[in-house]
Amino acid sequence: MLALIFVQVFNFYKLSAQIFPISSHTFRNTLSFNPAFAGSSDGLNLIAGYRNQWTGLEGAPKGFYVNGDLTLPRFRSGIGVSMWSEKIGVQNINSVNANYAYIQPIGNLKLSVGVELGAVFSTLDGAKLITPNGVYENGGVNHEDPILPASKVNSVKPSLSVGVLLQHAYFDAAIATMNLVDFSDKFTGLEKELNVNYERPLHIFLRGKVNLGTNFDIQPSVSVLTDFKNWQTEISALASWQKTVYLGVSARGYNKNSFESLIPIVGGRLWKDLTLFYSYDVNLNDLKVANKGSHEVSLGYYIPSKKFFKGEKIVNNPRFL
């Protein structure tokens, strides 16, 4: 199904597409969407996750991500690495990125400005495409289309993203522009070159931090991803008990015309600072008849900065005691 849709879209020599994968764990997978979050956790923060989207639908997206960032207090900076891989239909997309953020305290606030540099590696398996007028006999592949390849083709493109984060004890506010420079994937077809240009979406993320006594807290959040033509919204609330047991729910794609999915979230502390989260996307739009929802699981580990960086040693002078 997805292969046929792919062919219909590729009837043009140039294609505009969305390259960034969906995640239901944006509340902890923030580095994937904004480089300014590098070093924001005041320690070493590691996240690994896997997402199986639209289970049961042939060619639906499946992917995983691995992120890590570290605070450098002496340099008022944070550094990070983010990687993700996704397979959707006949295309595989892999991204590797390096992140840097400068962190400036302003009273009770922290302002971070971040940049991400990386590369996106794409593979298109043209042998799995089927066109309405193509000829596929005796193992041969002839799409009868000059821009579609008959075998696997590869492309590499650089990527650049920038972001800003404002942190307070009770809230986070962040905005980022992804794929800032419009580089395109270039796949060589039989006679012509197919150029795939990706959109430059803007990501806005707002999160509150509310303590409910000494044992409970709740973090409401709003995530908006847009290219100013389409809008992807997600409203979430995550509650925790002693930072050990987590329960939450998200609503994605809700507007007056549609409601994409409702997402229950559960999580817990497995050992010390090792946490595990799971979510299930319950599809509510028309696509629900063709799939069994989406699953995502992520594992995180955190080590505070004080275990890496010791404060300067102070020696008291007895003359001034």
Written in H, E and C, the secondary structure of the chain is: CHHHHHHHHCCCCEEEECCCCCCCCCCCCHHHCCHHHCCCCCEEEEEEEEEECCCCCCCCCEEEEEEEEEEEHHHCEEEEEEEEEEEECCEEEEEEEEEEEEEEEECCEEEEEEEEEEEEEEEEEHHHCCCCCCECCCCCCECCCCCCCCCEEEEEEEEEEEEEEEEECCEEEEEEECCCCCCEEEEECCCCEEEEEECCCEEEEEEECEEECCCEEEEEEEEEEECCCCEEEEEEEEEEECCCEEEEEEEEEECCCCEEEEEEEEEEEEECCEEEEEEEEEECCHHHHHCCCEEEEEEEEEEEHHHCCCCCCCCCCHHHC
CB atoms within 10 A of CB 173: 15
At 277 the pLDDT is 98
At 238 the pLDDT is 97
At 107 the pLDDT is 92
Q: Indicate the pTM of the whole model.
A: 0.85
Q: Provide the residue-wise pLDDT of the chain in tens; the chain has 321 residues.
A: 444 334 433 433 444 455 567 899 999 999 999 999 999 999 999 999 999 999 988 888 999 999 999 999 989 999 999 999 999 888 899 999 999 999 999 999 999 999 999 999 989 888 888 888 888 887 788 888 777 888 888 888 899 999 999 999 999 999 999 888 877 777 766 556 777 777 788 999 999 999 988 899 999 999 998 888 888 899 999 999 998 999 999 999 877 777 889 999 999 999 889 999 999 999 998 888 888 999 999 999 999 988 776 655 555 555 545
At 152 the pLDDT is 87
At 191 the pLDDT is 59
At 192 the pLDDT is 65
At 311 the pLDDT is 57
At 102 the pLDDT is 97
**Structural domains in the chain?**
2-309 (2.40.160.40)
At 254 the pLDDT is 79
Q: How far is CA 243 from the centre of its chain?
A: 24
At 274 the pLDDT is 95
At 13 the pLDDT is 41
Cβ-based burial of 86 (10 A; exposed 0-12, middle 13-18, buried ≥19): buried
